[in-house]
Structure 1
């Protein structure tokens, strides 16, 4: 995750850099005392995340935030809590008030990391081979959904509905194709244009339908070969 720091106080920049060195997934690409130099880097290089102060002499951080591309996430780091509402109205990823504890900083990093994974499905920000969950945005927040908790996933136009083993339905603004690309093939299998199922959740099946906890899911003709191949082995 490529990051830059913008803060007019040298000690504040140094402190942030020292904390960020403890996170191997964070790469510091630059540290700036003014927004003008930082903007040049953002325009020349793909920056994932900006740590941005607010009260700066040349340009207020809230004003500068409006110049940052939408694909670049922002975490405000400031000594002024009164700007928090304005910060979140600018869709900042987080708002940290100095002095920031390492634990609080870690939570902000994790939140940004998860959001970047949603925005860039092809961009692996951590080792997917050991990951046992997926982060999805639902109900205006990021939610961690463990693979074993997902029974099946249903397409709903440009959205997807995750049906879980506690009878919850989680609706996320990811289409089924995108969601399928993010899920491991050894756990999930697509069974029609509108459904993905967790392999271990299948109770029974026929030539045209799959039963999962009394729910009947259609098995598409073009998906039958792969489905039967897995279960016959």
Structure 2
């Protein structure tokens, strides 16, 4: 059972989440808070697995509150303001529910929560070959892959690797459920996408990738939740 608190200054938001939580059956509500101060008191008193956290609240915003927690539990943001989505995901939020959200959308957010009983799957990988060496590359370490002439530039968090290949050949080698082609020159990991705005894809607030029109519909269908 997931133990949660609801933090929101709007009573109607508490009522809607209560209804969804009761229908879900996998979550129990430990407490309610109208602001960050009340939420902190609940966190100090109880063992909490999940916070449903509003962003626009009196005195201290939800974003500021989360930034100042040393060991935060899982967080699902619930807000009417779409513009905060990138900031929310950069704080490792489980999900970002844009009000008003449906019960089905709520369930999809809950399904993303990892509990202590979750079995960690074995990390998948492939071998990258260049002229001098062969290196094991874990799929979840890849930020994105860029075609540069006859080479593929595999961007990792702290460096990049060059592999002589084609983007099509590399695309066929990668798991189709984990990676997606978004441009004639780019492949990205699906789970690292945090936002799509017009012809731009965001992997972080500052890291963007162009989206080709020919790949846009496929991308939207994959990213749609």
Deviation at 1:37, TM superposition (A): 1.1
Match of 1:183 in 2: none
Aligned to 2:73: 72
Partner of 1:17: 18
Query: Deviation per CA, 1:40-70, whole angstroms, max 9, x where unpaired?
Result: 1112211000000001112111000123343
Q: CA deviation at 1:168?
A: 8.9
Alignment of 1:104-115 (within 5 A): 104-112=105-113, 115=114
- 2: distance between equivalents of 1:6 and 1:72? 13
Helix, strand or coil at the partner of 1:56:
coil
Q: Aligned Cα RMSD in Å? A: 2.4
Question: How far did residue 15 of structure 1 move?
Answer: 1.1
Residues 71, 80 of structure 1: alpha-carbon distance in 2 compared, 3 angstrom cutoff:
closer
TM-score, scaled to structure 1: 0.50
Per the TM alignment, residue 17 of structure 1 is displaced from its structure 2 partner at its CA by: 0.8
Query: Partners in 1 of 2:94 and 2:122 — Cα distance?
Result: 13
SS of structure 1 residue aligned to 2:23: coil
CA distance in 2, matches of 1:136, 1:43: 32
Q: In structure 2, do the counterparts of structure 1 residues 52 and 71 end up closer, same or farther at CA, with 3 Å as the change threshold?
A: closer
SS in 2 for 1:87: helix
How far off is 1:73 after superposition?
0.5
- Summarize the alignment of residues 147-158 of structure 1 with structure 2, pairs less than 5 Å apart: none
2-side partners of 1:107 and 1:66: how far apart? 24
5 Å-filtered alignment, 1:37-52, equals 37-52=38-53
Bigger radius of gyration, 1 or 2? 1
Question: 5 Å matches for 1:108-123?
Answer: 108-112=109-113, 115-116=114-115, 120-121=116-117
**Aligned 8 A contact 2:66 2:72 in 1:** no
Map of 2:3 onto structure 1: 2
What are the Cα deviations for residues 91-120 of structure 1, in whole angstroms up to 9, with x where unaligned? Answer: 1010110001111100111111xx12xxx2
| Rounded Cα–Cα distance in structure 2 between residues aligned with 1:69 and 1:38 | 14
1:61 to 2:46 alignment: no
What TM-score does the superposition give when structure 2 sets the normalisation length? 0.52
SS in 2 for 1:57: coil
SS in 2 for 1:31: strand
Unaligned runs of 5+ in 1: 125-133, 142-166, 170-233
